[in-house]
Amino acid sequence: MKRERNQARHVIRINEANIRESHFYLTGFSDFFPIDSLGASSKRNGLGKPMRIEVEGLANPVFTDIPRDAKTGKPRRFFRSRAWVREFFARQKIKPGDQIAIERVNAYEYRIYGIKDVAKVEKRYTTSEFFAGIGLVRLALERQGFRVVFANDIEPDKFAMYRDNFAVDEFRLGDIHHLKAQEIPDSDLFTASFPCNDLSIAGAMGGLNKGQSSAFWGFVRVLKEMKERRPSHVLLENVPGFLMSHGGKDFESALLALNDLGYSCDALFLNARHFVPQSRLRLFVIGRQAFPGPYPFGLETSPCRPQCLVDFIASHPNVKWNIRELPPPPERRMKLEEIFEDIPPDNPAWWNEERAAYFMNQLSDRHLGIARKMMDKSSYSYGTAFRRVRKGRSMAELRVDGLAGCLRTPRGGSGRQILFKAGKGKYSVRLLTPRECARLQGVPDDYVINVPFNQGLFGFGDAVCVPAIEWIAANYLIPSLHQLTRVRGGVLQTG
């Protein structure tokens, strides 16, 4: 049965290996193709329902499914039929660094074209990313056709990961408080995933004017100094605690600051669990250079605007709002076990008997009972765990609902997430690897990880979920930007 998928287009950046081998990878497309178009590993064992693909420059459409891996049963990262790719690259003169788009036309119909064909793309929007981290906002937006023209972050360790995966000519490593407006090129969109340390319930809750989270005001200063060159859109991302920090005063202050710069505001919650097997709820704010829409009296709750957010909007008529209707987020298809690396049982990544037994002793009676039931099963099942201090004692809390917990930055040992594998009368324990954390953020496997273990965990733990940002881009930012650029002779007035 076909699932509804909300995203209409994916953008792929082509590299030298793609040109040389005449292929490209379908990474991070878990909800893009019909599930019954996934076939067996070989043709003789069964094909999936074929998809019809119109390829730009080719006389005839391509009919193909996507094979599964024979060992894991997971979808492979390419179409089964690939002989046409070489001709497509040649006819469209695709070269390394170019982008191609795969666009869904109908249930089993797609088209593929070069993104440089401006007749097929209304406009390639530009973005500047602040608090860029390891580049996952960039990864998401580039896959939706945006072009990054500026990036900034203060942390050298994150920049090391960014540099391994993206061009860095436009990157400025340093404190946002020291940036000058003249350093920043004109952009359609500014993004800011500013530090959450002082807004998170896991942190000190010092607020927007304390510690690292006060870097938000450095971002506001940059916007202010841009004057008439301010971008038409701003996207903020932070933890849910941003809404409740100091009884809502911090969130109100941030929105009013954007209002003062000419932005009307919208807000929404989005959980990574809609796209990947990770529970990671985040609060997003979109500011648009537009007159406010009508005050949202009677705004109803929705998947992206729960009661707490609707109540905040209703109780703050002093904020200039511009609320945009959104579709419901998609249903996740990816299972937790699909993100695990195939690590042999004798690999030292798995904890030795003594260390694994210590983990079991850290479980509460209830969680230990769950672990033993998992061991009694005839097949393996999986859970994840974090360590927390409860009543002065370090405890391991097991999660077995098919989701990993929210990735964290490993300061000390408690922030590293643990994998528990059990069945057939035994159990095994180890830490999630940086690659597995990358997959939990929707990052493709061709993202390079050439840093130490904990540095990788820190980078992905302090990052965004790529398909969640893509969803916001496809369902909010791009339609809003299209709408704004179509307006002539004035400012867009309503959503």
What pLDDT sits at residue 279?
96
Which CATH number does the domain 9-114 belong to among 3.30.565.10, 3.40.605.10, 3.50.50.60, 2.40.330.10?
2.40.330.10
Judge whether residue 208 has pLDDT over 60: no
- In this prediction, residue 486 carries a pLDDT of 57
Domains of the chain, by residue range, sit at 9-114, 126-332+461-486, 342-432
Average pLDDT score over residue span 85-108: 85
Please report which confidence band the pLDDT of residue 168 belongs to, taking 50, 70 and 90 as the band edges. very high
The half-sphere exposure of 308 on its side-chain side, counting CA atoms within 13 A, is: 11
Confidence tier at 196 by pLDDT (50, 70, 90): low
pLDDT attached to residue 154? 93
pLDDT beyond 60 at 461: yes
Instruction: With a cut of 60, say whether residue 205 has pLDDT above it.
Output: no
Which residue has better confidence, 216 or 1?
216
Band the pLDDT of 200: cuts 50, 70, 90.
very low
> What is the structure's pLDDT at 75?
85
End-to-end CA distance of the chain: 35
Model pLDDT for residues 142-162, shown as the tens digit of each residue: 988 899 999 999 999 999 999
Give the pLDDT confidence of 287-334 residue by residue, as tens digits. 999 878 777 777 999 999 999 999 999 999 999 999 998 999 988 888
For the cut 60, the answer to whether the pLDDT of residue 489 exceeds it is no
Confidence of residue 31 (pLDDT cuts 50, 70, 90): low
pLDDT digits (tens, 9 = 90+) for 38-65: 899 888 888 999 998 988 888 888 999 9
Identify which of 93-97, 420-424, 487-491 has the greatest average pLDDT. Answer: 420-424
pLDDT at residue 155, rounded to an integer: 94
Please determine, for residue 243, whether its predicted confidence score (pLDDT) is greater than 60: yes
Examine the pLDDT at 203 and tell me if it is beyond 70.
no
Q: Which CATH superfamily is domain 126-332+461-486 in?
A: Vaccinia Virus protein VP39 (3.40.50.150)
pTM equals: 0.75
Does position 493 have pLDDT exceeding 50, yes or no?
no
pLDDT for position 6: 43
Count of other CB atoms within 10 angstroms of residue 106: 8
Answer with the residue of higher pLDDT: 124 or 424: 424
- Residue 394, pLDDT score: 86
